[in-house]
Chain A
């Protein structure tokens, strides 16, 4: 067989976790029971159900997990609808890894890190947060701010509550949009919460979430004195090939699939406003 990046590998779903009413996390291995391929935090993979379609998803699990990969997927379109109907044991196809990862071995090393996520935006951040936890001594203080519409929409809440909050030199702040029975935590939108927390602007920040959250949170961070060159985010555009050839995810002189999805805010400033 010719080695072709567009030809996928077969994956087996070994576990499905229902995180929220519309988000499920799929655990995937190869048909030999082993992890399909290595990746770095922030990289993505094309997951497909043949006959339905193929879509790009961020790899939610940390590269330090040697056994399997996980994808946290929100039900919102044709492919995700069918993915959500899958049962354990189902087979699908995976190809990757694609894209540029977070600079965890370069710019992030030795820095205090601030992670801000909204809703399903936690998916790409979970990979980098767990990578940082694994190599904890390489990084400074870690602050995580995570918000969702309601307490039921917080993705992967068990891992956050049972593991992340107990991590040394780590602060976790959760918030939901509106008051809700059984929630005694913070209520309010992420951008406002970030400003309220009066975070140290010397931290390196990573933002992931809906475009509107990113826009207002970034404005808030800049007000607090954060530098754009130390704020990162991820972009999401329609993709078909994943390797900068099909032309769909082109913005300016970049392809989100291969030059992204991770971008520094200063890089985004140079791109035309069309993403």
Chain B
């Protein structure tokens, strides 16, 4: 294990940024989000939850896909990624355990055959440096999904205490990044990290949502859960604003749209939300006409449909962003407590 004094972190950022893009939680206008590091930016690794999750780095909110040019009757498709190369790597620095797990959840969707190469290129180029949590909040419930916030995975895992940042490479990509910055580090930190893990684990155990009962969310209960009478009441206050889907690190639904430019048509994709009424609207009708149906779809997908397609892996990582951000105080915790199982009282 390696360590670096916190007052020297700026040197570390500068060293990485010399050769590749460095995305790190940065405070701007009172909010902390992943942004490109530059000298003078206010880095906030202490912030537990960035407003937007790091999914933006691999699955951007909007992404140009291709262009169409028309000449007379002739149509041409142009893949606008001709200049892309895998060497154009970047570092996502400070990714928490929940958000890292969320990237695994996205991988199952985008890297399944046929591979989404837009996502794949970004994944290959991205080096993920995770940061273990030491001050989890009350809205955190990653433990309910079997995630260990004290020891996240990723290409490099880091831990931070009052004095040092501790660094451990886990993959080839991580080793390569370590080689680049090694001179800034000294050896050591095993004991401090072990002690921190123990302290944090004890805090996590006592968090109010750490022991949610998910036992009823099984494929065999799909129809029973779908038809549960509680959905009506749970969804009654939902405004259909879609905030939960945008701050969610695992929500991956997207729209594909065309935009007419002076040089032909640009086709892009952007995040979409199952909370919106036009999400399922067709020329001949709509399969989900009420907000209750749309609300139910979101949670059934995360807790039952997705796990049923992916060997039991839930499409929720307990980051708690929806708990903090829903203007109506609706969230997945309430759904789990209502439908998840007997031990939720």
Residues of A within 8 A of B (CB): 1-10, 50-54, 76-78, 80, 89-93, 236-238, 240-241, 243-248, 250-253, 270, 272, 274-275
Residues of B within 8 A of A (CB): 65-66, 68, 70, 73-77, 79, 81-82, 84, 109-110, 112, 114, 116-118, 121, 219, 222-223, 226-227, 252-256, 258, 260, 264-265, 267, 272, 274, 279-284, 287-288, 293, 297, 300-301, 304-305, 308-309
6 residue pairs A–B, Cβ–Cβ below 8 Å: A10-B75, A89-B73, A247-B252, A247-B274, A248-B279, A274-B288
Query: Which residue from chain A places its CB closest to the CB of B257 in the assembled complex?
Result: A53
Q: Are B75 and A93 in contact (CB under 8 A)?
A: yes
Measured between beta carbons, the chain A residues less than 8 angstroms from B297 are 250, 274
With A91-B73, A246-B254 already in contact, the answer to whether A6 and B284 are too (CB < 8 A) is: no
Measured between beta carbons, the chain B residues less than 8 angstroms from A7 are 65-66, 77, 79
Given A54, A77, A252, A274, which contacts B256 in the complex, CB threshold below 8 Å? A54
A98: min CB distance to chain B, Å: 10
Q: Are A245 and B109 in contact (CB under 8 A)?
A: yes
B212: min CB distance to chain A, Å: 22
With A91-B74, A247-B254 already in contact, the answer to whether A4 and B219 are too (CB < 8 A) is: no
Measured between beta carbons, the chain A residues less than 8 angstroms from B281 are 238
Give Cα A182 to B297, complex, Å: 49
Give Cα A52 to B114, complex, Å: 25
Q: Are B114 and A76 in contact (CB under 8 A)?
A: no
B323: min CB distance to chain A, Å: 22
A61: min CB distance to chain B, Å: 22
Measured between beta carbons, the chain B residues less than 8 angstroms from A244 are 109, 112
Q: Are A51 and B265 in contact (CB under 8 A)?
A: yes
Query: Which residue from chain A places its CB closest to the CB of B304 in the assembled complex?
Result: A253
Measured between beta carbons, the chain B residues less than 8 angstroms from A4 are 79, 116-118
Measured between beta carbons, the chain A residues less than 8 angstroms from B252 are 245, 247
Listed from nearest, the 5 A-B pairs whose CB atoms lie closest are A77-B283, A247-B253, A50-B68, A253-B308, A91-B75
Q: Are A248 and B258 in contact (CB under 8 A)?
A: no
